[in-house]
Amino acid sequence: MEDKDNLNLKIVVNSTLANSEYLEFENLIQSNINNIYSIPKGSNNNLLIEFRNSNYAIFKPKLGEKPLSDFPIGSLYKREFASYLFSILLGWPNIPPTTIVEIDKIGLGSLQKIISHKHVNYFDISKDNQEEFLRFAVFDYLTNNADRKAGHCILDESNKIWSIDHGVTFHQTFKLRTIMFDIWENNISEKLINEVKIAKVKLSQQKNKKFFSKLISEIEINATISRMNEFLTSKSLPIINQYENIPWPLI
């Protein structure tokens, strides 16, 4: 634990898709930072921010990202925010309010609200939540999520399911990795298909494409729209290989 008196936090990207949960989160993080804790787990350097108003958030700094061979250096924090905004377009899955901030002496990064949750994961709760996780699966395909582990699905104290960790998303080349093989071939409802259709119209709007271009490349935006078109045409998820499209570790 390290005391962080007078450390300034500034929101640097204001969402054009702000909803009430996002605006509430923005208000919560206006408080001064009390302490910053290092989180030892994870492939990147993540920090737990404690605010003076007793709220907490996860900060994923740009400088803490380890280089990857297939994603541009220093882009993962932007993808976290882009995934959150994309979930607003769709209306699902539930992703904790996320924004991009700059913290003195640490730099830029994504900041996400902490969800108090039960210590269970996808394997514990999937049987009774097939329809909910089918939405997760569609979201993962559309965002090309390369890291859907069981621990990235959490259940809060009111039994609401949340999706976290979206740093390796939106690549233009198919890179999907998921543990959701058991629901991948489930029938997709017309309601879900219509929701994707509406989201595609929204993403294709010039103002939204322009905003997303601050976070991911134009090629990646167009690839996302292309995946949406393929999904709307086939009304199904693509065939995946459990030997090639599975993350490790599973949790």
Dump strand ranges (E) for the chain. Answer: 2-3, 9-13, 33-39, 46-51, 56-61, 98-103, 107-113, 117-118, 153-156, 161-163
What is the tens place of the pLDDT at every residue in 196-209? 999 999 999 999 99
Mean pLDDT of 229-246: 94
109/61 Cα distance (integer angstroms)? 4
36, 49 in Cβ contact below 8 A?
yes
Residues 6+ apart with CB under 8 A from 102: 9, 10, 12, 108, 109
**pLDDT number for residue 98:** 96
What are the structure tokens assigned to 251, written together? 């949790």
74 pLDDT exceeds 80?
A: yes
Mean pLDDT of 81-100: 97
Mean pLDDT of 91-110: 95
Residues 6+ apart with CB under 8 A from 139: 86, 87, 90, 92, 93, 145, 163
What is the tens place of the pLDDT at every residue in 121-141? 999 999 999 999 999 999 999
- Residue 64 has what DSSP assignment? G
CB atoms within 10 A of CB 54: 9
41 pLDDT exceeds 80?
A: no
Of 30 and 171, more confident: 171
76, 44 in Cβ contact below 8 A?
yes
* Nearest alpha-carbon partner for 246 in 152, 180, 166: 180
Instruction: Report yes or no on whether pTM surpasses 0.85.
Output: yes
**pLDDT number for residue 16:** 76
244 pLDDT exceeds 80?
A: yes
135, 144 in Cβ contact below 8 A?
no
* Nearest alpha-carbon partner for 79 in 172, 155, 204: 172
* Helix, strand, coil percentages for the chain (3-state, nearest 5): 35, 20, 45
